[in-house]
Amino acid sequence: MDRAEKKQCVASLTDVFKTTSVVVVAHYSGLSVVQMQALRKQMRAAGASVRVAKNRLVKIALQGTESASISELMRGPTLIAYSDDPVAAPKAAVAFAKNHDKLVILGGTMRATALDVDTVRSLATLPSLDELRAKLVGLIQAPTARLARLTTAPAAKLARVFSAYAGKDAA
């Protein structure tokens, strides 16, 4: 990698650290190429990304960002997983780590907040932003649906009473 490529890599990493909401750091030593491809595919499906870069370049990119607290995690063969959704990257990383013990989660950061391993795992159990939005819409729609049922219920009862009287007269 020449100097221009390194500058471009640092610039793109700095952009990642400044724009994404969560970054997860993990060791990937011992993962095969096929397993790394599966990890990338699983992350993409969850709306997250995985990046492997030289630790020195990552440390340079972290300088001056809110995520600078993870620079001490950058030792050995590390990768970073990141996403705009605060739970997408942790959820995908923890799910992959359950099936592949070679992926060891070290920690991460959520903007200026440093995350340890347990916090990353607890973030993985939270519902995603889309799931929360769907629940909120459901909660907002529930009262109107109940109100609609209540307004149609008296008419339905009245219709049943008329039907019963009509059946009684016919008998």
CA dihedral in degrees (111, 117, 119, 122; nearest 10)?
Answer: 130
Pairing of strands 48-51, 22-27: unpaired
**pTM score:** 0.73
What residue segments make up the domains of the chain, in order of their start? 3-126, 127-171
Residue 158 has pLDDT above 70, yes or no: no
Residue reference for tokens 């997250």: 48
CB 103 within 8 A of CB 76: no
Domain 3-126: which topology?
Alpha-Beta Plaits (3.30.70)
pLDDT tens, position by position, 113-149:
889 999 999 888 888 777 888 888 887 877 777 767 7
**How high is the pLDDT of residue 125?**
87
Q: Which amino acid is at 111?
A: R
Structural element, H or E, at residue 118: helix 117-125
CB 122 within 8 A of CB 84: no
